[in-house]
Amino acid sequence: MNSSMYLKLAFTNIKKNKNTFFPFGLSCGTMIAMFYMLLSISNQAAESTFYGGRTMSSILNLGIWVCGIFSAIVIFYTNGFLLKRRNKELGLYSVLGMEKRHIGKILIWEIILTGLISLFSGLLGGLLFSKMMFLVLLNLMNFGTSFEFGISINAVLLTLLIFSAIFLLIILFNNLYLRRLKPIELLQGSNVGDREPKAKWISAILGALCLSIGYYIAVTTENPIQAISKFFVAVLFVITGTYLLFISGSIVLLKGLKKNKKYYYHKTHFITVSGMMYRMKQNAVGLANICILSTAVMVVLSSTVSLYVGIDDVLCTIFPSDVAINYVYEPEEDEKNNLNFNYDTNLIADTVQNHALKYNVEVKDIQAYYSFNTDGIINEDNLIPGYYGLFDTVYLYALTLDDYRSIGINGESVAKLYNNEVHILSNNSAYSSMESIAIGKQKFKISSFSESMKLYDKLVNIMGEDTNTILMVVSDFDNLLALQETVNSLRNEEYGRSSIVYNYEFNLTGKLSDKEEFNITLRDALNEADIPHVASVDSIFTSRQDTLSIFGSLFFIGIFIGTLFLIATVLIIYYKQISEGFEDRDRFIIMQNVGMGKKEVKVVIKNQIMTIFYLPILLAVVHIIFAFDIIRKMLAVLNLTNVKLFAGCTFGTILIFVIIYGVVYKLTAKTYYKIVN
C-alpha cells in the first residue's frame, strides 16, 4: 500500500472513533495551550521592567516544569486507553491480511494527524488567550494593564519541540506495543476479562498500614519546618496505600460482601458485587489515579487560594507595626575602626517625625526598644550559642526591663529584677521548670516565667507557634551588653557576630499613596541624618508588592496545575466509562435474555457506576481531612497563620470540586448508558 492509503485509513479511523479521539486531541490541545501560555508569560515577565517581574518569572518557571512533565504523563496514559479500546479493530486488520508493519504505519499516521491538529489548535489557543491570561496575572498582582504583550517566538519553538518529542515517543511506544501482541490477542483483547481475583490480605493490610503511617505523619508533625520535609514522605505513603487499598483492599471488601448471604443473595447486589469483583483489578488502578489526582487538585487549589486571599493576614503577621526600623548598636566596634557615630535615640525619633510632616502622614503607636537575639541549643539549663539544626534550635530574644515595661505588658508586671535575674517567656512549657539559665560563665536566675506579652506574641507569629522561642528580660542595659559579649565569645566564627539592635516601630495614618512615598524615601532620610548602621527599614506598604508577586504567581500556577489535574481526572473517568460500557454491554444483554427486566438492569448499572464513581472522591476527601494540619503548618512557614481562612478555602475548594465531579459523573454516565443500551 502507498502512503496515501495509510493516510486515508488513519483519517477514517479517527473519524469513526471520534468518541475516543476527540477527547484525546482536545486534552492534548488544551495542555499545549496551557504550556505555551505559562512559557510565554514567564519570558515576558523576565524581560519586563515592572516591580516583581523577576520573582514572578522564577515561580512561573517551576509551573512550566510541572506542566510539561505532567502533560507527557497524561498524554501517554490516555494513549494507553485508546490502544486497549481498539485491540479488536487492529486484530481485524491483521486477520484481513495486513502485516504488523502496515498496522504500525496506520497508527503512526493517526498520531501524526492527531498531533498536528493538537499542536495547531493548542498554539492558536495559546496565542489567542496568552495576553488575556497575562493581564489576569497582572491584575492578581494589582498592576495596571498598560504593558505590551507580543508573540514569543522562543516559546512557540520550544512548545513545538517538546510536544513533537512527546508525540514521537508515543509513536515508538504504540509500535512496540503492537509488535508484542499476536493477531488473536489483538482480536480478542478487548473481550478478555480477568479471572475472579483472589483476596490478597497481605497487600490489603500493607495498604491500610501505609495509609495509616501517612496519616500519622501528617497529624503528629508539630514543627512547621519539619512539616515541609515530612509532607512529601507522608504523600508517598498515602499514594502507596491508596493503590494497594484499591487493588487489594477492594477485593477483600467485595469478598466480605459476597460471604454476607443476606446482602449478597439479592438480585441487584448479586450482579453488582460479582461484576465489580470480576473486573476490579483493571478498574482499581484507574480509581486510585482518580483519587490521587482529585486530592492533588484540592490540595493545590486550597493552598494557593488561601495564600492569595490571605495576603493581608500574612503581611500583618510579618509586620505587627506598619514600619519597623532598626540599627546595630556597636560603639566599641566603631571605636576600633576610628568611627564616631551619634547613638542618641532621639535622633531617629526626630528624623521620622520630620519626614512624616513632609509627606503629610502621622506617626503613632511608637514602640522603641533595644534587643539582642541569638540561636543555639539548650542542654541541662545551659544555652550553647550557634545554629544546631532545623528541629532542635532555640531562638533567644533579650531586652531590658525598662523596655519591656514601655512596650506594653498585657496585664502582667515584673516589679523588679536584681542583677543577673531574668524574667522568661516561652512557648515551650518544658522551660517553666528551669530555675536558672547559664550562657557560658554567665548564669541568670529565673525569677518568673509566663507567656502573656505583646512582644512575645509578635515573635511567635514570626517564628511560628511550634518553634522553640525564649524571650528573656534582663535587669538593665549593662546586663544586655554583658550577654552580648558572652554570646560572641562562645560563637564560632562561621556563625558571625551577634549585635544589640535598636528597634523603632510605629503605625502610620494618612493616604495610602502618601504612606508609600514616605516609606520609599525613609531610608534616604535616615542616612542623611547620619543614623548609625541602619540595618533594615521594613514596611507593610513597600513589602506588599513583593508578597503579591509571589502569592499572585503561586495562585496563577495553582489554577493552571489544578486545571491540568482536573483534565487528567476527567479524561480517566471518561475513558473508563467508555471501556467499561463496551465490556458490560454483552453482559447486560445476557442478563436481559435470562429474564431480568430493563428496569432491573438499570438499577444494577446505577449501583455499580455510583459505587465505583464516588469511592475515589470520598477517599480523596478523607486524605484532605488528614492532610489539613500538616498543610496548615507548611503555610505557617509562609506566615499564613489564619486557620479559619485556610479551613474556609479548603471547604470551598472541596465543595466546588465535588460539584464539578458530579457534573462529570452525569455526563460520562450518559455515554455509558448509551453504550450499554
pLDDT exceeds cutoff 90 at 5: no
pLDDT exceeds cutoff 60 at 47: yes
Contact between 323 and 539 under an 8 Å Cβ cutoff? The reply is yes
352 band by pLDDT with thresholds 50, 70 and 90: very high
* Residues 127, 328: Cα–Cα separation, whole Å: 53
* Residues 10, 27: Cα–Cα separation, whole Å: 20
Q: Pairing state of beta strands 500-509 and 362-379? A: antiparallel
From residue 236, alpha-carbon distances to 49, 468, 587, 628 in Å are 41, 29, 38, 16
**Where is 505: in which H helix or E strand?**
strand 500-509
Q: Is 599 exposed, middle or buried (0-12, 13-18, 19+ CB in 10 A)?
A: exposed
* Residues 642, 644: Cα–Cα separation, whole Å: 6
Average pLDDT over the chain, rounded to an integer: 78
Over residues 515-561, the pLDDT tens digits come to 888 988 898 899 888 888 888 888 888 777 777 777 877 788 788 77
pLDDT at 387: 60
pLDDT exceeds cutoff 80 at 51: no
Cross-strand bridge partners of residue 376:
385, 394
pLDDT exceeds cutoff 50 at 190: no
pLDDT at 411: 46
Reading the block at residue 12, the C-alpha cell is 477514517
pLDDT at 455: 54
* Residues 406, 401: Cα–Cα separation, whole Å: 9
pLDDT at 164: 93
pLDDT at 354: 92
Over residues 125-160, the pLDDT tens digits come to 888 887 777 777 777 666 654 555 567 788 889 999
452 band by pLDDT with thresholds 50, 70 and 90: low
pLDDT at 381: 79
pLDDT exceeds cutoff 90 at 652: yes
Over residues 486-516, the pLDDT tens digits come to 888 887 655 667 889 999 999 999 888 888 8
Over residues 581-592, the pLDDT tens digits come to 776 676 666 666
User: Average pLDDT, stretch 629-655?
Assistant: 87
Q: Is 145 exposed, middle or buried (0-12, 13-18, 19+ CB in 10 A)?
A: exposed
Over residues 246-271, the pLDDT tens digits come to 877 666 666 666 666 666 656 555 66
**Where is 187: in which H helix or E strand?**
helix 183-188
70 band by pLDDT with thresholds 50, 70 and 90: confident
* Residues 76, 78: Cα–Cα separation, whole Å: 6
pLDDT exceeds cutoff 90 at 634: no
265 or 361, which is more confident:
361
